[in-house]
Amino acid sequence: MGKLMPRKFRVLLGAVALFALNAWICRELFRAEFLHNLSSNEGAFVAISRFYRENFTDLRWFPWFDGGMPIENAYQPLLPFLAAATGWVTGWSVERAFHFVLAVGYALGPVTLFWFAWDWSESLAVSLTAGLVYSLTSFAELLIPVLRVSISAGNGAAGNGWPDGHWVPLRLYNLIHYAEDPHILALTLLPLALLFLRRLFERRDAASLVGAVVFSASVVLTNAFGAVDLALGGICIALALGRGFPLLAVAGVTAYCWASPWLPPSLLRLITKDQWGARGAFSGDFRALGFLLLLLATVALLWRLTRKLPPFERFAALFAPWMVVFPVAYFLAGVSLVPQGNRYQLELEMALALFCAAVCSLGSRLAPRRLQYAAIGLLVLAGIAEARVYRHYARNILQPLDISRTIEAKTANWLDRNLPGGRAMVAGDTQFLYNVFTDNPQLGGGHEPQVPNWMNLVSLYEINTGDGAGAKDGEISLFWLKAFGVQAIVVPGEKSRETYHPIARPHKFEGLLPVLWHEEDDTIYAVPLRSKSLAHVIPKSAVVTRKPLHGLDTDPARAWVAALDDPSLPTAQFRLSGNSRFRVVAPLRREQVISVQMTWMPGWKATVSGRPIPVRGDGLGQMILEPACEGTCVVEASFGVTAEAWICRIVSMLALFSLLAASVFRSSAYSV
């Protein structure tokens, strides 16, 4: 057959077959709008995609989540940008465009892994093994029992006689059930970044450098886990080849410089700090140290034992231990070696698919031809059977949902109609979907690790849990609702169809707050505010000067909250213009200031009659404007570019020009 079919055509045919297989498995996803996955935070990603699509010319400030934040804090931009662009080009709803991008990314994952393996091994059998194993097996479920998914999972449907156990698509399950959307897209791009890094180490040409930088930046701009994967993958390639570390540093630094406007150093510090707080911090004990030492010793031993193997097989042997140990240590020993080590189960799947391909490569040299053919036949039969199981499972989990009949949509639509522009606290999974339906800001949002205002998270935690509040739970919750300008709060009751029921004592607001709306067991309460404006005239003495220690530490903000209800103080008019500008009109005395219930960040500037005025943050992380004027004052404020942002933009342009110059002049070698 090799003589009848050109080699490149066979490779193309293999890639198309892998894409078709995975597209067939998840085919409903290409046309889906809403699925039965409301317990995931996918709605938050869809909302960000909608924001990109509808506000493409004003993307500096994102006002919908957590009191507002710079757009780069909302999430890494590549997935929402692709969804927004797809929706704009096709005219589809943002929900359908988002799921179409996910479906393409899911189906392409095994294809990019196939290409990486082919480009290095130049063996169709080896690369197809990698792609098919990644498509149709789940080593994470085999190694970690708690991850095993029932064939009947999703919608509560029965297995209908299909075999149960651990051979179901964990990658698809994570995509739908946990909304690992950016993570899985990053893993689709990862093999392309590693492919060009390997080419760069071997060829040292400009085209490989450009490819390595572009795809490395794309991985990191999709998901933070991709940065760890990329670093370890690049190191393992260099170890397998015995060269390339300086070029890895060059490519990595250039990629970061190019992407830095979306990942400035201040955001990296925030991500690094908050990621350790999500689902288990680093286990700084002897067990963690033991795991790390064992892992390093294993990799060092494998590096010595595999010296005579081809570089591709050596890479697979070096890369797999890292990606296996991270989730295994987390789930089986309760040890976190990296932030959120539980989520590296997806990397484990990819790494062991490559390892199987390496075993296939080794076996093709050692096993007799007849044995090889027999093994291939058995694997083909097993693959066909498993593909049918995967397809059955996917059809079960990818059922469409009439979103209009859900309590989440009913709640969001009521608030959109009856509280236009008003900030609400939306509890549970409704917060994820809230901004899919409305532009109204909310106190939460659904993605905590990049929220810049810590006090915003503190208030949410205390309102939801009432931790330590006792009989004062309702009173303290009301205090924080007022402090952050919340006009209404959504409270799911015990019988609510909402998934999480995060408010531990849902009846604490009964008799304390007036009811605006009630349906089934969900209630919207009004928060009594003297003014619905987000801007307030207060005396300087009421400014919060100390950050509260926790949700029960209300003393620093008591004078500020009292000022909100003080009838002797004038009210201020607040109007948001676009996303990144607002105007405040208020009668002021010179000793008074304006407090704005929006997150303060460097970059906010304000003027009165063209005169710059000081803008700073208070102890709650919100804005203080100091107009120092008498009479009716008009304050114009806008979020601009900080010194850090300017530096990142300049560095990014320099990196881009360097890549363009390298491409134009086609340097054939690097002296590094």
> How far apart, in Å, are the Cα atoms of 96 and each of 412, 434, 608?
19, 17, 45
pLDDT at 340: 87
Q: Own/partner pairs for 17-23, CB < 8 Å, 24+ apart? A: 18/110, 18/111, 18/114, 18/128, 18/131, 18/132, 18/135, 19/107, 19/108, 19/110, 19/111, 21/110, 21/135, 21/387, 22/106, 22/107, 22/108, 22/109, 22/110, 22/111, 22/135, 23/103, 23/107
DSSP-based helix, strand, coil % in the chain, nearest 5: 55, 10, 30
- Residue tagged 């307030």 (tokens): 536
Amino acid (one-letter) located at 438: T
Write out residues in the chain with pLDDT < 70, as ranges. 1-5, 152-166, 274-285, 372-373, 376, 666-672
Nearest Cα to 132, choosing from 396, 395, 387? Answer: 387
The Cα 71–Cα 182 span in angstroms is 16
594-645: pLDDT as tens digits: 999 999 999 999 999 899 999 999 999 999 999 999 999 999 999 999 999 9
φ, ψ at 261 (rounded to 5°): -60, -25
Q: Which residues make Cβ contacts (< 8 Å) with residue 356, sequence separation at least 6?
A: 129, 130, 133
Give the global pTM. 0.93
pLDDT at 153: 56
Strands 488-492 and 424-426: parallel
Please give the full DSSP string across 98-154, using - where no structure is assigned: HHHHHHHHHHHHHHHHHHHHHHHH--HHHHHHHHHHHHH--HHHHH-GGG---TT-S
463-504: pLDDT as tens digits: 999 999 999 999 999 999 999 999 999 999 999 999 999 999
Amino acid (one-letter) located at 257: C
- Residue tagged 């908050």 (tokens): 274
pLDDT at 159: 44
pLDDT at 622: 97
Backbone CA torsion sign across 496, 426, 454, 473 = negative
The Cα 476–Cα 472 span in angstroms is 6
Nearest Cα to 344, choosing from 356, 329, 358, 333? Answer: 329
Nearest Cα to 45, choosing from 68, 67, 77? Answer: 77
The Cα 538–Cα 552 span in angstroms is 23
Backbone CA torsion sign across 491, 495, 497, 503 = positive
pLDDT at 669: 46
pLDDT at 166: 59
Task: Give the full edge-to-edge strand order of the sheet including 522-526.
Answer: 424-426, 488-492, 522-526, 515-519
- Residue tagged 């998270």 (tokens): 457
